[in-house]
Amino acid sequence: MASLSQLIDEIANTFRAVAKAQNLPAIASSFGLAEGGTDEAFANKHSYIANRLSGWSREALVQLAKRVNETYPSDSLQLLIEESDPSSTLHLSAITRQHLWRCLDQLPPAQGKLGIVEFMEKFWPIRSMSASGTDPRCLTAYDEVVRHMINNDDYSFVDMIQLLRLEDMSNKKLGELLEWCVNPMVRVDNAQQRYVDAINAVLKNDGVALIPSEQMSGYPVFRLAPARGGVEGSAKNLIFASVGPKPEIVISDAINNDIRIVKHEDSCLTYNRPFLKDGLKWRDLLAWWADRTGGEPTEDTERQLFRRLRQSLASPPERAIFNWYFKVFRPLIGERLPALIPQVYLHYDPYTMLQLQGERRLPRQRMDFLLLLSTFERVVIEVDGAQHYSEEGRPSPSKYSEMVEADRELRLDGYDVYRFGATELDDATAENAVTQFFTRLFKKHSIKRPSVAV
């Protein structure tokens, strides 16, 4: 783990590299550091910062490092962040890195459709970086790339990485590099899939993978993510918060899987915007609602949306989950809070029970709550009342069997399914039950509160 002095030194180095002495006091102050005079900054920029960080706790220094790195990206600082907080990014072991470089060296050139200079400049300032020293004619890394990868094809991409001693880059930068290797701007179709398959074969031992997260002009865009399964395919139709009769739906375009509600549309809500790679956040749902109602995403509009969603919840236990979720976690996580979507149609049978003469082809069509945490992470939350396992007050093995069968199907499709008992959510215990559950769920899925100034 990085020492306190290493963190202080690298934070100070980052400020020294990006700020002029006359601007340093104001910039440092904006990050929560004590103010000082420009004379002190002119005397020694590094000492100006280091002196103000003396006595800071490790946690405070790591949080500051993250904020500084967001504004002034530095891979040296990122390496210390990863060393101090291993949960901050996905980890690729030294062995996996060795295998990755060997893998990339055996594949077609990493830059694909891009020029090698354009590709490398996405990650390193090669025009100002020193050359490796292997060729005395080259003063900068840019000179070396041009001479040995363009004018003469005697260095591979991996050769250049190793000569410039870049192979120990941060996990974050290595992830970005791998994502760009398979970006549609670099390669598409079979060439893209060949790269993805080869890289994923190496990454699997570290439990990570390149996973499709969105599309660019019809081509998949991949991101590095935990290889823990999840739902395949992208979310498209979200029908939720029903307060009346079951909507009647037709498929308007079977090829594109486009649907249209032809009856009872006013009794439910339909989210009709593209889903982003980080799932559906409360801010996204609020922006959609504001457009739908012709307003702005203000606090008043937010209250209107909250009331409309809450209206769809019929039971006190369901309302307890919804109320405490927003009361506890909206202030903590803010607009990045995942939207807790109530009464979602996950399965759909166009026929009613009456038309089917009592037969249940899809035992459970509507879920109590859904969270879309990312492209592939979907969480279903159900509240179990007596109606889930009894009939007319008597235990019903058949109803219970239907419920657990439906759960199995959802889990096999990649959904996480969690259940609350209704008695957990009475007035005395609801706050604690809801808070503990979502705290652990967000920790599992690396959903964190925003960094704040120290």
Extract the tokens encoding 362: 């899809």
DSSP for 393-429, please give it.
Answer: TEE-HHHHHHHHHHHHHHHHTT-EEEEEEGGGGSTTT
Dump pLDDT digits (tens) for 176-193.
Answer: 999 999 999 999 999 999
CA distance 317 to 255: 40
Dump pLDDT digits (tens) for 354-379.
Answer: 443 444 444 556 899 999 998 778 99
105 and 31 Cβ atoms separated by less than 8 Å: no
| Res 453: pLDDT | 41
Element at 192 (helix H, strand E): helix 189-203
CA distance 118 to 390: 65
CA distance 184 to 202: 21
Neighbours of 29 (CB within 10 A): 13
| Res 377: pLDDT | 86
CA distance 136 to 144: 10
| Res 85: pLDDT | 87
Strands 416-421 and 378-384: parallel
The proportion of the chain whose per-residue pLDDT surpasses 70, expressed as a percent, equals 86
107, pLDDT greater than 50: yes
CA distance 71 to 66: 9
Which sign does the torsion angle of CA 183, 188, 193, 199 carry? negative
CA distance 365 to 381: 14
Neighbours of 401 (CB within 10 A): 12
Residues making up the chain, counted from first to last: 454
**What is the model's pTM?**
0.64
Averaged pLDDT for residues 275-284: 87
37 and 92 Cβ atoms separated by less than 8 Å: no
333, pLDDT greater than 90: yes
